[in-house]
Every structure is written in structure tokens, then in C-alpha cells.
Amino acid sequence: MGKAIIDLQHLAKKFGDQTVLKDINLTVNPGEIVGLIGPSGAGKSTVIKVTLGMEVASGGSAKVFDTTMPNRELLGRIGYMAQTDALYDSLSGLENLKFFGLMKGIAKSDMKKEVMHAAEVVDLTADLNKRVSGYSGGMMRRLSLAIALLGSPELLILDEPTVGIDPALRRQIWAELGRIRDEGRSILITTHVMDEAELVGRVALLLGGEVMAFDAPAVLKQQYGVATIEDVFLKAEGVE
Amino acid sequence: MRTIGIMNRVLKELFRDKRTLALMFIAPILVMLLMSVIFNTNSSTDVSVGTVSVSQKLNKEMGGIKHVTVKSYDTKKDAKAAMDDEKVDAIIKKNGKNYSLTYANTDSTKTATVKLAFKNALTATSINQLKSALKQSTKATVKLQAQLQALQKQQAATSATSATAGSAAAAKQAAAKQAAVTKAKSTNHATKSSSQSTPKITNHYVYGDKNTGYFAKMLPILMGFFVFFFVFLISGMALLKERTTGTLDRLLATPVKRSSIVFGYMLSYGVLAVIQTIVIVLTTVWLLGIEVVGSMASVVVINLILALVALAFGILLSTFANSEFQMMQFIPLVIIPQVFFSGIIPLDSMADWVKDISYIIPLKYSGDAVNDIIMRGTSIFDLGFDIMILLIFLIVLTILNVVGLKRYRKV
Ligand SMILES: Nc1ncnc2c1ncn2[C@@H]1O[C@H](COP(=O)(O)OP(=O)(O)OP(=O)(O)O)[C@@H](O)[C@H]1O
Ligand SMILES: [Mg+2]
């Protein structure tokens, strides 16, 4: 096991006098999918934003690729998908992909290949020339995910990527995420779908501004003496 | 490279928003057409002129001109009172040989009408005077000739009778003397009337000055206003939308530089402003027939700089707005005061501290510069001061914007 791709140590974050994150310790290793679960408002998105350097930490340290964030250059190696579909409505899916590809610094010669691959994974190839304003909610979500996948980044940070996506396509996406992991790339993913939490390498349960539990799903289930991650989640919340 | 990418994207978005685009280009043309119609068609307004110690002839001559009524007053005070009561639009007072004209000037077309009427009447009367002088002198010559003929006859008659030779010589002498006197008198008269035809005329304006209210004077400011207004609003809205939809966050999650975003916006809106200015300039020149003395390219350059200032301003203020409605609230705060201080209303008539405010109004500088180019043909290289101030605005605002984006990404 090499150096951790993401390394959060004693991370704290306050918004005004509201303490959202108290003491977060979290690592993501190369070739690993880490799932971040927790009740709504627990601070999952905040962890991601601090990791990316979009919010500044009130305490502790956030390192990505062994470099303290925020760091602009590193962003080119990270694929980020926000919780909201941030897309340009008046542009087509293809134009959105190309624009963000350019911003990520993908070379012109690789652009077409990258765009086509990303579109294929999310099953959008047929709708690429449609304007985003004419997309359905799920299509927007898929386009948003495709943008994150562009350029085969070494680290993917996905904030609830599968909301509004049908089961068949969700399975297809998870297969792709598995392939990415097998290539040695890393993924940090938040989700409210507990079935998905079963599929990750390690699960971090965020509660009360701290990581309550952080281990492989099987280990967690054993620790809590329950059959599913969903039960782990409910038990942890109930116990608290 | 990324800057160009952002520019292309913003332009693409802009050109797909047909309605906004139409508004940007058609609204200025419509408003300017409307204004030119309003400001230029009421040239047939009736004016009334109060005169003080002006010759009967001139009064009559002016009264004869269409749309002009003349009232004679005994003193300037009476006339002034009438003007205050809005009974007369202008006062003409004769001081010795010279004329002093006072215009209420609340309506520039009335002022122009009075000016023209007075000039015409003055020329007409002096021509009449010349005519009568000429008549007089020709009459005198005719008389002289008759006298001379009579004299010659007399001479012929008397030559036979030399007895009366002495008296004839005396008569001849007297006739020559008389002729000389009449001639002198008539020439004197003629020169007197010709010197009377160019009296000194001084103009006074109760409100504003001779430039007040002319459409031509407003045009440069109007042009700048349209550019500023649309670029400010549309760019502000665009960035606001980027922020609220989260695309700004997403953009900032790529290695793009903050300055690239600001410059990308500047380039795209610069392109738009250039097109808009060209459309406006061509409209004014071809449709409204306004003369541009200087170079049109200079006009475009000044407006381009103004557009960039407006853009930087729009982007900066959009960070203080949380919705498009809140962005609209900046219009009465930012746009309207600019119009007041931009020179549409003469600044000379304002208090000093109010005048000082105008120094921080970008529209004033662009208005001054474009005014000089359009009306006086000033070269853009002689407008260094105005351009420099605009550039300072631009640089300061741009730096603020680049730094301000730190709110959304810390590097
Ligand atoms: N910019 C901000 N300013 C103030 N408070 C914020 C800000 N961003 C997040 N918060 C607060 O931080 C807390 C955690 O928010 P966060 O978005 O991280 O939750 P989450 O775990 O992602 O929830 P969800 O599962 O619903 O997405 C919330 O109480 C929220 O109100
Ligand atoms: Mg969230």
C-alpha cells in the first residue's frame, strides 16, 4: 500500500458559529473506493469541499496527493462531480463535455476519445447534440458524471452521483467505477443508497461532525452485529 | 487557451439567447430614433419675443416672421418679469448700436427659432435701410443732373448776352457747391447704414448654455449609456447565474486560473460591445444623419473600454446579489446616477460637491471623449486623460474581481 491519495487529519470546519466538522480523520488509498455515508446535513458535502480547497478548513489538515490543499494545479488530477448538476443549459451535452474537458487541460487530440468514452459510460451518446435545457433530470445527472470522468483522473470525488438514475444504468456505472478502481485510481463517493455502500472498499460513517466508524462493510456489519450497512447506519444513529 | 475557451463558451451562450441579443441591438436603435424624432420635429413651435428699445422697423420685421410674436416693453425689467411669467421666450434689448439677447432656453428649439428670426429680421431691416439710402442717393443724382442740365441751358442762353456773364458764373458756382454737399450727404448716409448692418450681438442664457438639450450633445452620452447598461446588466446576470447554478464552483474545481475566468468574460463581452457600438454608431450616422467629425474607429475604441469597465462593474456587483431580482436593484443605484452626472445635465449649474461626484462616474469620461471625437474631430491620441481614467477604473475593478473570486476557491 503506497501513500494515501486523500489524507484528512483532525479536520474541523465552522460556518460562523455552527461547527459542522469537529474532527475528521479519513484516508483514501490508491485503487480504493471509499464511501461516505451519514444523515442529511451531517457534513458530507462539506468534507468534499474542504478536500478540494473550495472551503478553507478551520483546523486540521487536508492533503491530496501528499500536497496540502488548496492547490490549483492538483485540481487537474481530480474529477469532481457536485451534488447539484452544474451544467450550461443553453449548450448541448457535447459542448458541455468539451468545455469542461478544455478547462481540465485535456489535449485537443485526446478530446474526442475522452468525450466519447465518458458519454458511453453514462449512456448519453445518442443525446449528445441535444441542448441540456431539453434533458431530463437523470440525463443531467449522467452528463454531470460524464464530466467528472473526463480525462481519466487519478482521483474521483463524486457527491451523490446516482441520484435519479435507473437501476440498470446504476449497475453499469458501478461496473465502470469498479474498472476505474482496478486501474489503480481512487474514488471518494457519498451516497444515501445503502446498497451502494455495500459495494465500496471502506465505508466512513459521518455523524456529529466526526467519523463514527471507518472500515470495510463486512467488518462494520460484524462490529455492529447486523446484516446490512443500512442497519449499521440506523443503529449508529439510534445509539448516538 | 482556457481564456479563449471561456470566451467561446460565453459567446455561444450569448448568441443563443436571441431575445437578450435582440434587446441589446434593437432597443438602442429604437430609443435613439424616438429621441431624434422628439427632439427634432417641434421646430415649428410658436415663440414670443419681448423687445426693449428696439426700432419699430425691426419689431415689425420680426413680427412678420411665421410663428413669432413680438411684444414691445419699455424697460428690461418689464420684459424680464414677462419672461419669468413664461409670457416671452426671449428678450431682445438694444444698447446703442448693439443688441443683447436673453433666452429662457428651457426649450432649445425655441432658442434656435428666436436666434434665426432675429438674424433674418436684422438682415432684412438693414437691407431696407441700404435700399432707401441707395434710393436717396440716386434721387440726389437725378436732381443734380437736372440742375446741371438747367444750368447748361442757362449758360447757353447767357453766353449770348455777356452782360449777365457774372451772374451766370455765380449760379454755376452755387450749383456745384450744392451738388458736392448732397453727394457727401448721401455717401455719408450709405456708410452709416452699412456700419449699422453689423451690430454686435451678445447672447445670454437663463438656463444652461448654447449646447443645452441638443440631441447631438446627448448622443455620445446616450451611446455610452446603452453600452454600459446592457453590458453591466447582462454580464452581471451571467456571472450570477454561473454562481447560483454551481457552474462557477465546477469551473473552479478545474485547474483554471481565476484570472482566466475574468479575462474570458472580458474578451467575450468586449466582442459584443464592439458589435453593439458599431451598430449604434452606424444607426446614428445613417438613420439619424448625425455628423461624426472624428474617426468612427476611435468612437468604437472608447466604447469598448467603457464596456469593459461596465463588465468589471457588473461582475463585481453580481457577487453582492443573490438573485436576478437583486441584480436589477442595482440599476437605480448604479446606472441612473451615472446618467445624471454624465453631462446630459450641465454640470456648471451644480454645486461644487455635486460636481466632485462626477469625477468617479465612468460614463462622464467616455461621454467627454466621444463628444470630442464626434463634435470636434479630436484625435484619440489627444484624449489621453479620459482614456487613462477609464483604464484605471478597468484595472482596479479587474483586480478586485480576480481577487474576489477567491471567495469561491481559495487558490
Ligand atoms: N456555505 C455554507 N454556509 C453556511 N452553512 C453551510 C454552508 N455549507 C454547508 N453549511 C451547513 O453545513 C451543514 C452540512 O452541510 P452539507 O452540505 O455538508 O451536508 P451533507 O451531509 O452533504 O447533506 P446532504 O446529505 O443533504 O447532502 C449543514 O447544516 C449546512 O447548513
Ligand atoms: Mg451533500
Whether residue B197 has pLDDT greater than 60: no
Distance CA A113, CA A58 (A): 41
Exposed, middle or buried, B327 (CB in 10 Å: 0-12/13-18/19+)?
A: buried
Q: Are residues B178 and B310 in the same domain?
A: no
Give the cell for residue A14: 465552522
In a domain, B5, yes or no: no
In a domain, B398, yes or no: yes
Q: Are residues B251 and B300 in the same domain?
A: yes
A155-159 and A186-190 beta bridge pairing: parallel
pLDDT at residue B196, rounded to an integer: 47
Mean pLDDT, range B95-118, rounded to an integer: 81
End-to-end, the C-alpha distance of chain A in Å comes to: 33
Ligand 1 contact via A44 beta carbon (within 6 Å): yes
Give the confidence band of B217 by pLDDT, cuts at 50, 70, 90: low
Q: What are the two backbone dihedrals, phi and then psi, of residue B256, each rounded to the nearest 5 degrees?
A: -65, 145
Q: What are the two backbone dihedrals, phi and then psi, of residue A209, each rounded to the nearest 5 degrees?
A: 80, 10
Last residue of a domain, one of B179, B205, B231: B205
Distance CA A130, CA A83 (A): 23
In a domain, B254, yes or no: yes
DSSP β-bridge partners for residue A159: A190
pLDDT digit string, tens, across residues B135-155: 888 888 888 888 888 888 887
Q: Are residues B375 and B403 in the same domain?
A: yes
Give the cell for residue B176: 456745384
Cα atoms in the Cβ-side hemisphere of radius 13 Å centred on B87: 12
DSSP symbol at B164: G
A6-15 and A59-64 beta bridge pairing: antiparallel
Whether residue A225 has pLDDT greater than 60: yes
Which chain A residue is nearest to residue B252, measuring alpha carbons?
A: A54
Cβ pairs A/B, distance under 8 A: 79
Which residue, among A12, A4, A8, has the nearest Cα to A208 in the 3D structure?
A: A12
Q: Smallest CA–CA separation between A50 and chain B, in Å? A: 10
Give the confidence band of B118 by pLDDT, cuts at 50, 70, 90: confident
Secondary structure (H, E, C), chain A: CCCCCEEEEEEEEEECCEEEEEEEEEEECCCCEEEEECCCCCCHHHHHHHHHCCCCCCEEEEEECCEECCCCHHHHHEEEECCCCCCCCCCEHHHHHHHHHHHHCCCHHHHHHHHHHHHHHCCCHHHCCCEHHHCCHHHHHHHHHHHHHCCCCCEEEEECCCCCCCHHHHHHHHHHHHHHHHCCCEEEEECCCHHHHCCCCEEEEEECCEEEEEECHHHHHHHHCCCCHHHHHHHHHHHC
In a domain, B1, yes or no: no
Q: Are residues B201 and B235 in the same domain?
A: no
Q: Are residues B219 and B131 in the same domain?
A: no
Q: Smallest CA–CA separation between A225 and chain B, in Å? A: 40
Q: Are residues B154 and B230 in the same domain?
A: no
In a domain, B194, yes or no: yes
DSSP β-bridge partners for residue A25: none
Residue B77 Cα, ligand 1 centroid: separation in angstroms?
A: 77
Give the confidence band of A193 by pLDDT, cuts at 50, 70, 90: confident
Which range (B208-212, B244-248, B299-303, B308-312) has the least confidence? B208-212
Looking at chain B, the whole-number percentage of residues with pLDDT higher than 90 is: 6
In a domain, B111, yes or no: yes
Which chain B residue is nearest to residue A84, measuring alpha carbons?
A: B246
Whether residue A240 has pLDDT greater than 50: no
Mean pLDDT, range B176-204, rounded to an integer: 56
pLDDT at residue A129, rounded to an integer: 92
Whether residue B175 has pLDDT greater than 60: no
Which residue, among A7, A37, A10, A28, has the nearest Cα to A205 in the 3D structure?
A: A37
Mean pLDDT, range B260-276, rounded to an integer: 88
Query: What predicted TM-score, i.e. pTM, was given to this entire model?
Result: 0.72
Higher pLDDT, A89 or B44: A89
Which residue, among A150, A138, A141, has the nearest Cα to A97 in the 3D structure?
A: A150
Q: Are residues B186 and B333 in the same domain?
A: no
Q: Are residues B278 and B196 in the same domain?
A: no
Q: Which ligand is nearest to the CA of A39?
A: 1
Cβ neighbors of B352 (< 8 A, separation 6 or more) are none
A59-64 and A202-207 beta bridge pairing: unpaired
CB atoms A54 and B16 under 8 Å:
no
Q: Are residues B187 and B218 in the same domain?
A: no
Whether residue B390 has pLDDT greater than 80: yes
pLDDT at residue B44, rounded to an integer: 59
Which residues of B are less than 8 Å from A102 in CB distance? 1-2, 5
Higher pLDDT, B237 or B108: B237
Mean pLDDT, range B283-305, rounded to an integer: 80
- Amino acid at site B216: A
User: What range defines the domain where residue B389 resides?
Assistant: 214-408
pLDDT digit string, tens, across residues A60-114: 888 888 888 888 888 888 999 988 888 999 999 999 999 999 998 888 888 999 9
Cβ neighbors of A5 (< 8 A, separation 6 or more) are A28, A29, A30, A64, A65, A154, A155, A186
End-to-end, the C-alpha distance of chain B in Å comes to: 19
Higher pLDDT, B357 or A116: A116
Q: Who among A56, A82, A91 is closest to B249 (CB)?
A: A82
Whether residue A59 has pLDDT greater than 70: yes
Give the confidence band of B399 by pLDDT, cuts at 50, 70, 90: very high
Mean pLDDT, range A153-174, rounded to an integer: 87
- Please, are residues B154 and B168 in contact by the beta-carbon 8 Å criterion? yes
Mean pLDDT, range A172-192, rounded to an integer: 89
Interface test mutation site (partner B, options A51, A72, A91, max chain B beta carbons within 10 A)? A72
- Please, are residues B13 and B238 in contact by the beta-carbon 8 Å criterion? yes
Ligand 1 contact via A51 beta carbon (within 6 Å): no
Which residue, among B227, B230, B394, B224, has the nearest Cα to B316 in the 3D structure?
A: B394
Tell me the three state secondary structure of residue B23.
helix
Last residue of a domain, one of B183, B205, B227: B205
Q: Are residues B344 and B404 in the same domain?
A: yes
- Amino acid at site B52: V
User: Ligand 1: which residue has its CA nearest to atom 9?
Assistant: A46
Residue B259 Cα, ligand 2 centroid: separation in angstroms?
A: 29
- Please, are residues A34 and A201 in contact by the beta-carbon 8 Å criterion? yes
CATH of the domain at B117: 3.40.1710
pLDDT digit string, tens, across residues A113-161: 999 989 988 888 999 999 999 998 888 988 999 999 998 898 999 998 8
DSSP symbol at B42: G
Ligand 1 contact via A42 beta carbon (within 6 Å): yes
Give the cell for residue B262: 475574468
- Please, are residues B215 and B36 in contact by the beta-carbon 8 Å criterion? yes
Look up the ipTM and state it: 0.87
Q: Does B245 touch chain A (CB under 8 A)?
A: yes
Give the confidence band of B186 by pLDDT, cuts at 50, 70, 90: very low
Exposed, middle or buried, A86 (CB in 10 Å: 0-12/13-18/19+)?
A: buried
CB atoms B254 and A52 under 8 Å:
no
Q: Smallest CA–CA separation between B318 and chain A, in Å? A: 18
User: Ligand 1: which residue has its CA nearest to atom 4?
Assistant: A15
pLDDT digit string, tens, across residues A2-48: 578 888 888 888 888 888 888 888 888 888 999 998 888 888 899 99
Q: Smallest CA–CA separation between A231 and chain B, in Å? A: 34
Q: Are residues B79 and B181 in the same domain?
A: yes
Distance CA B198, CA B216 (A): 30
CB atoms B409 and A70 under 8 Å:
yes
Q: What is the domain count for chain B?
A: 2
CA angle A25–A28–A34, rounded 5-degree value: 95
Last residue of a domain, one of B181, B205, B229: B205
Q: Which ligand is nearest to the CA of A193?
A: 1
Ligand 1 contact via A19 beta carbon (within 6 Å): no
In a domain, B19, yes or no: no
In a domain, B91, yes or no: yes
Q: Please, what is the angle between helix B258-282 and helix B18-40, to 10°? A: 40
Average pLDDT for chain B: 80
User: Ligand 1: which residue has its CA nearest to atom 14?
Assistant: A43
- Amino acid at site A227: A
CB atoms B245 and A86 under 8 Å:
yes
Sort residue B297 into left (φ over 0), alpha (ψ -120 to 50) or beta: alpha
Which range (A200-209, B164-173, B317-326) has the least confidence? B164-173
Q: Are residues B236 and B295 in the same domain?
A: yes
User: Which ligand 1 atom is nearest residue A83's CA?
Assistant: 27
Give the confidence band of B67 by pLDDT, cuts at 50, 70, 90: confident
